[in-house]
Amino acid sequence: MTSIAEELAQLFSKAEAVAHHAYAPYSRFYVGAAVLLESGETVAGCNVENASFRLTTCAEQTAIAAAVAAYGPGIRIRAVAVHNLNHTASQPCGACRQTIAEFASPDAVILYPGANGATERCTLADLLPATFKLESQ
């Protein structure tokens, strides 16, 4: 049986591997992300830039969209790992945090590159303590 530490290490490795597929000709900031679903499935994605910068898609959003496409809108995320090939500290951006929140509980684990090459670990609630929720009327 795989421990949670082993699962998270494998998830981070998948994020690193998919970062090599990133399309980042403008920023040269190559990012990969992998999401671990509650079902045990892992789905990865990378950033895809566009000459019209506003149309760029982050790695986390690409991985989540791929998970929804593969497994349906009922997915639940247990953990997210983010890695960049530039070896710089980088937490998920605000838009990615909100996208993660759409499919994860506040206690979902988030791994990302921290200062001095360390891998940081926190919960979604640590990164985004007040999520936007659209309440239907």
What's the Cα-to-Cα distance from 38 to each of 25, 67, 74, rounded to whole Å? 34, 12, 11
Is 38 part of the annotated catalytic residue set? no
Show Cβ contacts of residue 54 under 8 Å, excluding neighbours closer than 6 positions. none
Q: Which of 60, 102, 120, 135 is catalytic?
A: 60
Radius of gyration from C-alpha coordinates of the chain: 14
Catalytic residues: 60
